[in-house]
Amino acid sequence: EAAVTQSPRSKVAVTGGKVTLSCHQTNNHDYMYWYRQDTGHGLRLIHYSYVADSTEKGDIPDGYKASRPSQENFSLILELASLSQTAVYFCASSDVGDYEQYFGPGTRLTVL
């Protein structure tokens, strides 16, 4: 069974609206990550977390917030969605000392 799940799998949002992307992992991993993928830019790290109730900024955090209420759950929040945030978003988890990334299935977000 899938160890990293994301919801929704796809979403259409309006410009200026609030969007929340959710990620749940059953790997018992401490580390969780949010990436966006755009054609021509590869995977870019938005936010990550080493422990519940703590988040860190990645390479492109502007316009995004993150929340890690428990070890299993990690959310990405777009308070005011913009056209430029149309992309595929991947959540991942990894274990301390191993660092292999286990990716979720992705969420395709379209902002109109």
Partner 1 sequence: GDSVTQTEGLVTLTEGLPVMLNCTYQTIYSNPFLFWYVQHLNESPRLLLKSFTDNKRTEHQGFHATLHKSSSSFHLQKSSAQLSDSALYYCALTNNNNAPRFGAGTKLSVKP
- Residue numbers at the binding site for partner 1 (CB under 8 A): 33, 35, 41-45, 48, 50, 56, 58-59, 90, 94, 99-101, 103-106
**Residue (58 or 71) nearer to partner 1, CB:** 58
Q: Minimum Å distance from CB 14 to partner 1?
A: 26
Q: Minimum Å distance from CB 71 to partner 1?
A: 17
Q: Minimum Å distance from CB 30 to partner 1?
A: 11
**Residue (83 or 97) nearer to partner 1, CB:** 97
**Residue (17 or 97) nearer to partner 1, CB:** 97
Query: Three-state SS across the chain?
Result: CCCEEEECCEEEECCCCCEEEEEEECCCCCEEEEEEEECCCEEEEEEEEEECCEEEECCCCCCCEEECCCCCEEEEEECCCCHHHCEEEEEEEECCCCCCCEECCCEEEEEC
**Residue (15 or 41) nearer to partner 1, CB:** 41
CA–CA separation, 87 vs 84, rounded Å? 8
